[in-house]
Amino acid sequence: MDHFINSKETIVTDALDGFLLGRGNTITRLDGYPDIKVVVRSDWKKEKVALISGGGSGHEPAHAGFVGSGLLTAAICGEVFASPSVDAVLAGILAVTGPSGCLLIVKNYTGDRLNFGLAAEKARALGLNVEVVIVDDDIALPNDIQARGIAGTVFVHKVAGAQAEQGKTLEEVTNFAKMAASSVYSLGLSLMTCSIPGIDHQERIEPGMAELGLGIHGEPGAKKVHHETATDAIGLVLSNLANKMEEDRNYAVLLNNLGGCTPLEMAIVAGEIEKSELSPSFSYLYGPALLMTSLNMQGFSISILKLTQELEEALLFPVPGEIWPQAKKLESPEILAVSQALEKTAWIASDQPEVRNFVLKCCDVLEQQEKFLNELDAKIGDGDTGSSLANAARSLRKAIDEFPLKDNAQFFSAVSELLSRSMGGSSGVLIAIMFSAAANKVKSGKDWKSALHAGLQRVMEMGGARPGDRTFIDALGPALKKLQENNNLIEAARAARRGSDRTRDMISAKAGRAAYVPKEYLTGVPDPGAEAVALIFEGIVA
């Protein structure tokens, strides 16, 4: 996998320079590149306990992104997934530690423990008061294996930062951080591992599988499990975390994006947490957010913090909004009613076997061809044409018993209304316009074939496309014309097929998303909408 980097050697320093742009009034760095990569508060006066954390890069925004008032005083950055050197940690300690002392918050990895630990010893030898807290919140591994420090570490940053900002002593801040670290538990789940810049990526998680408890450096987790739905994924993670929860206790939840999940996916995951049986025990939700990532890993982690009154106050202690997510209550909003003007029309159902059979055949074709049309659309678009049409077909099939099948005008109106609701994208709107216009033409005395042809003319007026512009019009236009001429469905199907096939040779599109696609991608590929029209007509006459 390619990445937007300049070189493996400069990836971290280049990233830090970009991160620091425009932030000089709050954070800056020490002059120690390339070996010493330390981000510090530029407004720090050494009057209070300093908080330092860090580790390998690739977990952004952790740790540099949490440097600021009420959180970390400094972050020590190593290379990607590599612990920073002892000298880098010591440089950070010396830069921010005053008479009140310094607390190092360290994730439980051997390299971090050793390098931060030795730096702490060297700082003590220089007369500085330094303490260390180890965070081991990961519950994925067996009890006889040292637990790793993962996303729950940022909970410790937050509560310890609140204590330090309020002027607590080093002993008080350290004891508070230890208490928080012993009260936080985390577990992650991912569909893919991460791709490290400059290293060939070998994916070990097979399609259809997920890995439970993999490390934030891509280390193997506890086990692989079959993946189907977000509901199942959240249920699996929360059931494991539930083993660490106490009855009648409240918890804060941190929903962390490991780097590669879309906002859409993370919103679904958040919703599943709210729906879970454990939801009543969750007082606050932090996220979904990028907090401690693993480069581009397609996964998430959930951390829970057992609350006391003191921990709750520390969590809610105000910090700059750009470096810490806002606490949310797990409450769904009141749902407002849809305007009555948009309520579904109550049609007077009537049956007409010929029309019913016609509609159901169309539905059969679109549902059967969903995958094929998606694959076709993926070559020149966003790959959803088949799904959009199949969703419309499923809605038509479900509503067929409610439709006024004997009255063409009412039937066309019903189809238009249903498509405008169930079929997304511009195609759904355009087809709904066609049937709405056709309904009006039938009311004015046109036969159904002429009415549909007139509806297509309205589509061209509203959508701006014409024959030859590489759209569904290139297949539907000739088919409707044949129907008007001789009322022969077989000839109409042949005309639709010829029209769709002609779009293969149209190397420029003037409407729809294909208009933005280079001609080399269009050559030899039929327009998906036109192909769908041809398949429908062929299915009807088969």
Helices (H) and strands (E) in the chain, counts: 18, 13
Q: Are strands 130-135 and 50-57 parallel, antiparallel or unpaired?
A: unpaired
Q: Are residues 128 and 240 in the same domain?
A: yes
Residue 120: inside a domain: yes
Joined tokens for residue 378: 């993926």
Q: Are residues 87 and 32 in the same domain?
A: yes
The 10 Å CB-count burial string (b at 16+, else e) for 216-252 is: bbbeebbeeeebeebeebbeebbebbeebeeeeebbb
Residue 2: inside a domain: no
Contact (CB, 8 A) for 286 and 130: no
The H or E element that residue 27 is part of is strand 27-29
Contact (CB, 8 A) for 90 and 54: no
DSSP alpha helix (H) spans, 21-127 = 86-96, 110-125
Residue 17: inside a domain: yes
Q: Are residues 322 and 347 in the same domain?
A: no
Query: What does residue 326 show for φ and ψ, rounded to 5 degrees?
Result: -75, 140
Locus of tokens 């006459």: 541
Residue where a domain stops, chosen among 328, 356, 384: 328
User: Terminus-to-terminus CA distance in the chain, angstroms?
Assistant: 46
Contact (CB, 8 A) for 218 and 193: yes
Residue 1: inside a domain: no
Q: Return d(Cα 116, Cα 83) in angstroms, integer.
A: 9
CATH number of the domain within which 536 lies:
1.25.40.340
Domain membership of residue 403 as a residue range? 340-541
Q: What pLDDT, in 10s, does the model give residues 219-254? A: 888 899 999 999 999 999 999 999 999 999 999 999
Contact (CB, 8 A) for 288 and 267: yes
State the pLDDT at residue 521.
63
Residue 20: inside a domain: yes
CB-based burial of residue 450 (10 Å sphere; 0-12 exposed, 13-18 middle, 19+ buried)?
A: middle
Contact (CB, 8 A) for 405 and 355: yes
pLDDT in tens, the chain (542 residues): 788 999 999 999 999 999 999 998 999 999 999 999 999 999 999 999 999 999 999 999 999 999 999 999 999 999 999 999 999 999 999 999 999 999 999 999 999 999 999 999 999 999 999 999 999 999 998 876 789 999 999 999 999 999 999 999 999 999 999 999 999 999 999 999 999 888 888 888 999 999 999 889 988 888 999 999 999 999 999 999 999 999 999 999 999 999 999 999 999 999 999 999 999 999 999 999 999 999 999 999 999 999 999 999 999 999 987 889 999 998 888 888 876 665 667 778 899 999 999 899 999 999 999 999 999 888 877 778 888 899 889 999 999 999 999 999 999 999 998 888 777 667 778 888 999 999 999 999 999 889 999 999 998 888 888 888 888 999 999 999 999 898 899 999 999 999 999 988 886 655 555 554 556 667 788 888 899 999 999 999 87
CB contact set of 119 (below 8 Å; sequence gap of 6+)? 86, 87, 89, 90, 93, 104
Residue where a domain stops, chosen among 276, 308, 328: 328
Q: Are residues 359 and 478 in the same domain?
A: yes
Q: Are residues 59 and 130 in the same domain?
A: yes
Residue 6: inside a domain: no
Locus of tokens 């007077």: 348
Q: Are residues 189 and 319 in the same domain?
A: yes
Q: Are residues 266 and 388 in the same domain?
A: no
Confirm whether pTM is higher than 0.85: no
The residues assigned a catalytic role are 217
State the pLDDT at residue 168.
98
DSSP alpha helix (H) spans, 400-508 = 408-422, 425-443, 448-463, 473-486, 489-502
Locus of tokens 């959180």: 71
Q: How far is CA 401 from CA 177, 396, 404, 420, 538, in A?
A: 64, 9, 8, 19, 25
Q: Are residues 188 and 109 in the same domain?
A: yes
Locus of tokens 């599109």: 509
CATH number of the domain within which 123 lies:
3.40.50.10440
State the pLDDT at residue 333.
86
Tally of structural domains, the chain:
2
DSSP alpha helix (H) spans, 203-299 = 230-242, 263-275
Q: Return d(Cα 154, Cα 62) in angstroms, integer.
A: 8
Query: Any idea how long the chain is?
Result: 542
Q: Return d(Cα 19, Cα 253) in angstroms, integer.
A: 27
Residue 347: inside a domain: yes
State the pLDDT at residue 127.
97
Q: Which long-range contacts (CB under 8 A, 24 or more apart) does 73-78 make?
A: 73/40, 73/41, 73/44, 73/102, 73/164, 74/38, 74/39, 74/40, 74/41, 74/50, 75/38, 75/39, 76/37, 76/38, 76/52, 76/116, 77/12, 77/16, 77/37, 77/38, 77/39, 78/12, 78/37, 78/54
Q: Return d(Cα 430, Cα 420) in angstroms, integer.
A: 9
Residue where a domain stops, chosen among 328, 350, 371: 328
Contact (CB, 8 A) for 522 and 505: no
State the pLDDT at residue 144.
67
Of 303, 308, 314, 325, nearest to 147 (Cα)? Answer: 303
For residue 54, give the amino acid letter. Answer: G
Q: Are residues 358 and 270 in the same domain?
A: no
Q: Are residues 301 and 371 in the same domain?
A: no
Q: Are residues 305 and 444 in the same domain?
A: no
Q: Are residues 82 and 133 in the same domain?
A: yes
Residue 393: inside a domain: yes
